[in-house]
Amino acid sequence: MFAYTIRRLLMLIPVLFGLSLIVFFMIRAIPGDPAQVILGQLATKEAIAELTKQLGLDQPWYTQYANYVGGLFSGDLGESLRTKSPISEEIWPYLAATIELSFCAMVIAVFIGVNAGIISAWFQNSWFDYAAMVLALVGVSMPIFWLGLMEQWVFAINLEWLPTSGREEVRDPVSAITHIYTLDTLLQGRLDQFWDVIRHLVMPSIALATIPMAIIARITRSTMLEVMKSDFIRTARAKGLRMFWVVYKHSLKNAVIPILTIIGLQTGLLLGGAILTETIFSWPGIGRYIYEAIGYRDYPVIQSGILVVAFIFVMINLTVDLMYAAVDPRIKYQ
């Protein structure tokens, strides 16, 4: 197990290396010159040339790439062309915002998705099954953009239950320690702020959770259906075990691998894919950070931002793989 983990971690190196190379070339392949974008529409050719030189963008690509990768090895993610701040300092608040949001969304998605899937399988072809699966279909196909605006309209404007957007009440801002606001407010014993932060989390989390929730529900249902047709389930029922235990203990345990896989994949996707939700709910997360960097052709931020997200994605998948062994004794890693 230990050796396996080490091996997997070592395999990360070529993966990230390849990824950095792809990203590096991709962003340089798109037209649009960072110096031009920074200087705006009024810029003269000389000013652009001078800034290009100052930013080091006039050097050959291999020098630029070598500098970049060299920096990465010493933990230097580069410096934003736009804000001139080191990315390693700048990125954490954005990342923390996205982690907090994605975590909440995943908790909602897993809890509801898995349970809805199980109950649908348990009572296959019942009205609950049909209702849940139709809802899941709607969930997968619902444009987040529309859903987000509708949520705001219903829960913030009409019912006045929740705030429309943002992470906190700006008139009484949270003083950041870890930048995970739920944690920060608790650390400071500010329960009023904690509650406020939770209120801000609800709508974007639900919007973000919709798609993974629907996917998880459908996968859970189909795997559970398969497992519940097995002989050992029939045996369990025959010996008079209560149906609840048959479903939640014996069946679920055997259906957990595909469910876990899909949860891991979806969590990874949320980290980078929260951009629509982040835009509608003005959530200052990593998706918007990278997206705006693209608009400004802020090469270092795009490169490092994508790399960090990819790193987390790979790490989540690794964790999921290791969890297989924990939940299924038949799986052993060597």
Residues of this chain, 281-320, that bind another protein according to CB under 8 A: 281-282, 284, 288-289, 292, 295-297
Smallest gap, in angstroms, from Cβ of residue 289 to another protein? Answer: 7
Rule CB under 8 A: say whether 58 interacts with another protein: no
State which of positions 212-231 bind another protein (CB under 8 A). Answer: none
Q: Is 82 in the site for another protein (CB under 8 A)?
A: yes
Residue with tokens 């407010």: 185
* Comparison of 186 and 294: residue with beta carbon closer to another protein: 294
Q: Which is nearer to another protein, 67 or 279 (CB)?
A: 279
**206 lies in the binding site for another protein (CB under 8 A):** yes
Euclidean distance between CA atoms 303 and 27, whole angstroms: 8
Binding to another protein (CB under 8 A): which residues in 122-181? 123, 126-128, 131, 148-149, 152-153, 155-157, 159-167, 169-173
* Residues whose CB falls within 8 Å of the CB of residue 31, separated by 6 or more in sequence, listed in order: none
Least separation in angstroms between CB 116 and another protein: 6
Interacting positions 6-35 with another protein (CB under 8 A): 30-33, 35
Check residue 93 for interaction with another protein (CB under 8 A): yes
Q: Which is nearer to another protein, 1 or 49 (CB)?
A: 49
Q: Which of 24, 78, 87, 90 binds another protein (CB under 8 A)?
A: 90
Cβ 182 to another protein, closest distance in Å? 13
CB 145 within 8 A of CB 280: yes
* Cα angle value 225/126/111 (rounded, 5°): 60
Residues contacting residue 261 through CB under 8 Å, at least 6 positions apart: 320
Using only the alpha carbons of the chain, give its radius of gyration.
24
Residue length of the chain: 334
Question: Pattern of binders to another protein over 103-122, x per CB under 8 A?
Answer: -----x--xx--xx--x---
Nearer to another protein, 62 or 127 (CB): 127
Q: Which is nearer to another protein, 116 or 274 (CB)?
A: 116
The Cα 190–Cα 199 span in angstroms is 14
Q: Is 175 exposed, middle or buried (0-12, 13-18, 19+ CB in 10 A)?
A: exposed
CB-based burial of residue 39 (10 Å sphere; 0-12 exposed, 13-18 middle, 19+ buried)? middle
Size of the site for another protein (CB under 8 A): 75
Binding residue (CB under 8 A) for another protein from 140, 202, 241, 325: 202
Q: Tell me the DSSP string of 200-268.
A: HHHHHHHHHHHHHHHHHHHHHHHHHHHHHTSHHHHHHHHTT--HHHIIIIIIHHHHHHHHHHHHHHHHH
Residue 139 C-beta: closest distance to another protein, Å: 11
For the stretch 224-233, what's the b/e string if a residue is b when 16 or more beta carbons lie within 10 angstroms of its beta carbon? bbebbeeeeb
| Distance in Å, CB of 217 to another protein, minimum | 10
- Sites for another protein among residues 230-249 (CB under 8 A): none
